[in-house]
Amino acid sequence: MYSMNQRGYRGGQRRGQGGSYRGRNMGGRRGGYTSQRSNIPENENEFVIKHRKAFEEGCPEFEYPRVIGSYSVDTDRNFGLDKSQLKFFDRKFLPEDEEMKVELDLKKGFDKDKSYDGSPNDIFENLLQWVISNSTDLLSEEKSRLAVDFICPRGLLGNIMKSLYFQRTSWTLHVIM
> Could you read off the pLDDT of 47-80 as tens digits, one per residue?
777 777 777 777 667 667 677 888 888 878 889 9
CB 73 within 8 A of CB 29: no
Please report whether residue 22 resides in a domain. yes
Amino acid 13: pLDDT: 39
Pair (134, 69) in one structural domain:
yes
Indicate if 84 and 149 belong to the same structural domain. yes
Closest to 162 in 3D by CA, of 77, 50, 60: 60
For residues 40 and 51, which has the higher predicted lDDT (pLDDT)? 51
Looking at the fold, whether 121 and 75 belong to one and the same domain comes out as yes
Q: Are residues 176 and 144 in the same domain?
A: yes
Predicted local distance difference test score (pLDDT) of residue 80: 92
Is 44 in the same domain as 20? yes
* Cα 160 to Cα 177: distance, rounded to the nearest angstrom: 19
Q: What is the pLDDT of residue 65?
A: 66
Same domain, 177 and 132: yes
Nearest to 157 by CA among 74, 78, 66, 85: 66
Report the predicted TM-score, pTM, of the whole model to 2 decimal places: 0.46
125 and 163 both lie in a single domain: yes
Q: Is residue 109 part of a domain?
A: no
Q: Which domain holds residue 38?
A: 2-50
Q: How many helices (H) and strands (E) does the chain have?
A: 3, 5
What distance in Å separates the CA atoms of residue 110 and residue 117, rounded to the nearest whole number?
A: 16
Q: Are residues 9 and 37 in the same domain?
A: yes
C-alpha to C-alpha distance for 170 and 163, rounded to whole angstroms: 7
107 domain residue, yes or no = no
Q: Is residue 106 part of a domain?
A: no
Same-domain pairing of 68 and 139: yes
Residue 111 belongs to a domain: no
Percentage of residues in the chain having pLDDT higher than 90: 2
Residues 27 and 46 reside in one and the same domain: yes
pLDDT at residue number 9:
37
3-state secondary structure of 5: strand
Q: How many domains does the chain have?
A: 2
Is residue 112 domain-resident? no
